[in-house]
Structure 1
Amino acid sequence: MITECMPHFREKASLCNVWDKTTGEPLYNAIVWNDIRTNTTVDTILAKIPDGNTDYFRHICGLPISPYFSAFKLKWLMYYIPQVKKAVKAKKCLFGTVDTWILWNLTGGVNDGKHITDVTNASRTFLMNIELLNWDPLLLHTFKTPVEILPEIRSSSEIYGQVSGDFPLKGVLISGILGNQQASLLGQNCIKEGQAKSTYRSGCFLLYNTGTSKVQSTHGLITTVAYKFGTAPAVYALEGSVAVAGAAVKWLRDNMGFIKDVQKDTESLAQEVFNTGDVYFVPAFNGLYAPYWRKDARGGVPVIRPQSQDITTLGLAIAAGAAVGVDVWDIHDEERELVPTDTFLPTSTEDERDARYTKWKMAVQRSLGWALPKKTSIMTGM
């Protein structure tokens, strides 16, 4: 397995943007992936499905019901934000993840800008059929989302248009779109079934390549599109999503004042103690993602790390180059070495790891059920 550590925050495929297609002006602030204001939208959807089953739509979109995904943010915007509601009614609203917003502006914006996304970003909206790779009518109906506000879904590697207007790169072809984690998977050369990568930043995201097979997890992982090159079949992945990883260390620094320098202090402090003394920190600041998918939770093996700080960019360059016949990095070359890496070996025994993991799961269980908002008309529909 390959892991990468990146110190800089980057918006994810589940970020939500809405804007006026006649003026190009945003209708509201972008809502980032870990924003939990949309918990009320989750309650609305759960109140309308049998037994409040969070996995009810997994067979369609590969995802559990969670405020993490864009459709819940979009529904929240259409319900609570008057200018968004008005623009949707007037058929002037456009929706997209950050890739769509950038592409629309680069290709002309109000002057016939391309309203497009790729399958990897669309697969995180909760609105795409994971099998057909198109917007799903049942999900659109469930979220009361007009299809005309959604971008066209295309592959991850093809020519979408060219930079226009007064941008410095005017005339340059735009030929690659990938979600953040999927670009990382490709950049790490995890193109074979069974290969996986884990990215550790503000959150932590492990992607496991399942080839052209769509695997439905029974252990809380999500099914997502890894990438699709032109007319070739889509490649899928399983993902384990952790909401808070590096953000917890930042919290220890900025909110608690336990450390001053993340890179220096964390390792040195950890080396000062033999064990944790059975103290476990569950960083459920915004609920828990895989494998629990509980929005009500609150805080109570060899690893190879690439020396490059942003392997995601390499993955996107590979996709863009493939669309125009440029071999940026031959991912099919069996002899090609991976990017330069550092290797870390475990120092604990298997028995020690099992014991710690068991106690970790006990700590997680104690974090569940702390957020209990009042049931309002939003939840009951009455």
Structure 2
Amino acid sequence: MSDRFLLVLDEGTTSTRAMLFDAHGKPHGSAHQALTQHYPQPGHVEHDATEIWHRTLACAREMVGEAGGADRIAAIGITNQRETVVAWCKQTGEPLARALVWQDRRTADHCLTLREAGHEERVQHNTGLLLDPYFSGTKMRWLVENEPAVAAAAQAGTLALGTIESWLVWKLTGGAHLSDASNASRTLLLPLAGAQFDPALCDLFGVPTAALGEVVDTHGNFGSTLPELFGAPIPICGLVGDQQSATIGQGCLSPGETKATYGTGAFILANHGEALPRSAHRLLGTVLMQDRGKRTYALEGSVFVAGSLVQWLRDSLGLLGTAAETETLARSIPDSGGVVIVPGLSGLGAPHWLPEARGVIAGLSFSTGRAEIARAALEAMAHQTYDLAAAFAADGAEWTSLRIDGGMSANDWMAQDIADLLDIPVERPNFVETTALGAAKLAAVGCGTYPDLATASAAMRGGLGHFTPMMDGATRQRRLANWERALAAV
């Protein structure tokens, strides 16, 4: 396919994109559309699955046109916001309710009930996950129990449930119901050592097994698009959750190699090889990738609020004109003036797992201005990452360096602050959209352009920027002490 392209559909939380890559990983075009965020009440976050489909299709068609037609596309790779749940009708192919987004917290009480009933240890041992509304299983149950159209479809046997890649594959192919192992491992319904969704776990969470798709590899041939969508069929050859995709895009293919993605949330994954990941410090075990049934696992820490904190400061409080302004403001002052932000706007994720937590801005005084709050928002990224680094180290997976990516990582001040607070080197690729690159690599292997991911990564490698720790120990300890005090208030 030396003269053909890879088309990546990158389904994010706030937008959908389509990107063209060549066989060397060089981007050749991008189309982008925003997604509407629905907040019907506090703690509820929803998307319109029909909007997701229409806007994804529009972006894909734009890129197919830019490539010169469907015959110029070797394969499609799909990467997506994980844990978000869509319910649709198998007969009509139309959604039956709004999608529940991974940030949605409406099932917190049900998770607490399951924990109090003693189910968390069993669930964590089987799935690598904790009982938290973040994951898909309790969202699926909520839809079945609270949306009449979903309940009726479940009763009639016409209900389909899936994460975003499942929804897009169904629409693109006209009815293939699949879930790749990386996304399926985020549902609470797939045992880490099991090939398919487990009926016993489905019973525990109240999810009809018949509504779920077949669990498949992250790369291979998953069928082709309907001819009428792009003028000719295009094979779908890569499916992967966004954080696993970024890990692959960063080339973390050996055990111990670790990446952190700073987007809407922040997600740290360390390659764990073929050994089942077990955490005693409330980290997550997850499937990184699957090739012909053989799995590579990862240990993961998930932070719910990262870039969305800056977005909140900009859009809800009006303190910023643009997200990029935070770097200028942070550099304009010597420190945050004692201001510390604990960004618990959607609860706290790993390693704390406090879904009921709310955000805190501590240390305010009459001298506090926009610059102090903006700098504290960026410092919160390093603080949350430090907590995760400590948990990984306690689980025997200490970091010696960290590879970062995602939209926020373009902020040089923040990248340096992370290196300073963690006291380890930080690497950032010159091309920071590694989530899309990971899906391109998987699609390239799935369609046979490369024999394996190691070869694909070597051929599609880009340059790196480096950030070396410069902070003195006393300053680091003061920062961490202030963070701990603010965290205790949460």
Q: TM-score range by the shorter chain?
A: 0.7 to 0.9
Q: CA deviation at 1:38?
A: 2.4
Q: CA deviation at 1:20?
A: 0.6
Which residue does the alignment assign to 1:373?
none
Q: 1:221 aligns with which of 283, 302, 323?
A: 283
Q: 2:467 aligns with which of 344, 362, 370?
A: 344
Which residue does the alignment assign to 1:320?
443
TM-score (norm 2): 0.68
Q: Against the structure 1 CA distance between its residues 13 and 333, is the aligned structure 2 distance closer, same or farther, given a 3 Å change threshold?
A: closer
Query: Which whole-Å CA distance do the structure 1 matches of 2:458 and 2:170 have between them?
Result: 39
1:41 aligns to 2:110 (yes or no): yes
Query: Which whole-Å CA distance do the structure 2 matches of 1:36 and 1:333 have between them?
Result: 38
Query: Which whole-Å CA distance do the structure 1 matches of 2:302 and 2:109 have between them?
Result: 21
Which residue does the alignment assign to 1:101?
167
Query: Which whole-Å CA distance do the structure 2 matches of 1:157 and 1:169 have between them?
Result: 24
Q: 1:133 aligns with which of 195, 217, 224?
A: 195
Query: Which whole-Å CA distance do the structure 2 matches of 1:238 and 1:152 have between them?
Result: 24
Q: 1:266 aligns with which of 313, 317, 326?
A: 326
Q: CA deviation at 1:43?
A: 3.5
Q: 2:485 aligns with which of 357, 362, 373?
A: 362
Q: Against the structure 1 CA distance between its residues 121 and 335, is the aligned structure 2 distance closer, same or farther, given a 3 Å change threshold?
A: closer
**Larger mean Cα displacement after TM superposition, 136-145 or 350-359:** 350-359
Q: 2:318 aligns with which of 254, 257, 265?
A: 257
Query: Which whole-Å CA distance do the structure 2 matches of 1:207 and 1:198 have between them?
Result: 7
Query: Which whole-Å CA distance do the structure 2 matches of 1:336 and 1:54 have between them?
Result: 43
Which residue does the alignment assign to 2:309?
248
1:170-189 aligned within 5 A = 170-189=232-251
Query: Which whole-Å CA distance do the structure 2 matches of 1:169 and 1:31 have between them?
Result: 32
1:131-170 aligned within 5 A = 131-168=193-230, 170=232
SS in 1 for 2:229: coil
Q: Is the 8 A contact 2:236 2:443 kept in 1?
A: yes
Query: Which whole-Å CA distance do the structure 1 matches of 2:138 and 2:203 have between them?
Result: 13
Which residue does the alignment assign to 1:114?
176
SS in 1 for 2:454: coil
Query: Which whole-Å CA distance do the structure 2 matches of 1:7 and 1:126 have between them?
Result: 20
Which residue does the alignment assign to 1:210?
272
Q: Is the 8 A contact 1:162 1:170 kept in 2?
A: no
Q: Is the 8 A contact 2:13 2:81 kept in 1?
A: no
Identity %, equivalent residues: 35
1:40-59 aligned within 5 A = 40-47=109-116, 49-50=117-118, 54-59=120-125
Q: Is the 8 A contact 1:7 1:201 kept in 2?
A: no
Q: Against the structure 1 CA distance between its residues 162 and 335, is the aligned structure 2 distance closer, same or farther, given a 3 Å change threshold?
A: closer
Residue type matched to 1:357 in 2?
L
Q: CA deviation at 1:162?
A: 1.2
Query: Which whole-Å CA distance do the structure 1 matches of 2:15 and 2:452 have between them?
Result: 26
Q: CA deviation at 1:314?
A: 1.6
- Give a deviation string over 1:208-242, Cα, whole Å, max 9, x none: 001111221122210000111224x2100011100
Q: 2:355 aligns with which of 295, 309, 324?
A: 295
Query: Which whole-Å CA distance do the structure 2 matches of 1:94 and 1:82 have between them?
Result: 14
**Larger mean Cα displacement after TM superposition, 341-350 or 131-140:** 341-350
Query: Which whole-Å CA distance do the structure 2 matches of 1:75 and 1:158 have between them?
Result: 31
1:366-377 aligned within 5 A = 366-367=489-490
Which residue does the alignment assign to 1:379?
none
Q: 1:61 aligns with which of 123, 127, 134?
A: 127
Q: Is the 8 A contact 1:198 1:207 kept in 2?
A: yes
Query: Which whole-Å CA distance do the structure 2 matches of 1:339 and 1:329 have between them?
Result: 18
Which residue does the alignment assign to 1:286?
346
Q: Against the structure 1 CA distance between its residues 329 and 60, is the aligned structure 2 distance closer, same or farther, given a 3 Å change threshold?
A: closer
Query: Which whole-Å CA distance do the structure 2 matches of 1:229 and 1:357 have between them?
Result: 41
- Give a deviation string over 1:100-139, Cα, whole Å, max 9, x none: 111111112xxxx211111000000111001123212321
Which residue does the alignment assign to 1:3?
none
Q: Is the 8 A contact 2:227 2:233 kept in 1?
A: no
SS in 2 for 1:278: coil
Q: CA deviation at 1:197?
A: 0.8
Which residue does the alignment assign to 2:96?
27
Query: Which whole-Å CA distance do the structure 2 matches of 1:290 and 1:275 have between them?
Result: 27
Q: Against the structure 1 CA distance between its residues 40 and 121, is the aligned structure 2 distance closer, same or farther, given a 3 Å change threshold?
A: same
Q: Against the structure 1 CA distance between its residues 220 and 144, is the aligned structure 2 distance closer, same or farther, given a 3 Å change threshold?
A: same
- Give a deviation string over 1:237-261, Cα, whole Å, max 9, x none: 0111000011111111122222212
SS in 2 for 1:359: helix
Query: Which whole-Å CA distance do the structure 2 matches of 1:318 and 1:123 have between them?
Result: 21
Query: Which whole-Å CA distance do the structure 1 matches of 2:464 and 2:124 have between them?
Result: 36
Query: Which whole-Å CA distance do the structure 2 matches of 1:30 and 1:334 have between them?
Result: 34
Q: Is the 8 A contact 2:245 2:438 kept in 1?
A: yes
SS in 2 for 1:66: coil
Aligned CA RMSD, in angstroms, stands at 2.2
**Larger mean Cα displacement after TM superposition, 130-139 or 75-84:** 130-139
Which residue does the alignment assign to 2:140?
74
Which residue does the alignment assign to 2:407?
none
Q: CA deviation at 1:318?
A: 1.5
Normalized per residue, the structure richer in helix is 2
Q: CA deviation at 1:7?
A: 11
Query: Which whole-Å CA distance do the structure 1 matches of 2:275 and 2:200 have between them?
Result: 23
Q: CA deviation at 1:86?
A: 1.0
Moved over 6 A (4+): 333-337
Q: Against the structure 1 CA distance between its residues 104 and 336, is the aligned structure 2 distance closer, same or farther, given a 3 Å change threshold?
A: closer
Residue type matched to 1:353 in 2?
R
**Larger mean Cα displacement after TM superposition, 185-194 or 158-167:** 158-167
Q: Against the structure 1 CA distance between its residues 328 and 359, is the aligned structure 2 distance closer, same or farther, given a 3 Å change threshold?
A: farther
- Give a deviation string over 1:279-317, Cα, whole Å, max 9, x none: 210010110000011111101232222232422122112
Q: Against the structure 1 CA distance between its residues 356 and 55, is the aligned structure 2 distance closer, same or farther, given a 3 Å change threshold?
A: farther
Q: Name structure 1 gaps, 5 residues minimum.
A: 1-5, 368-382
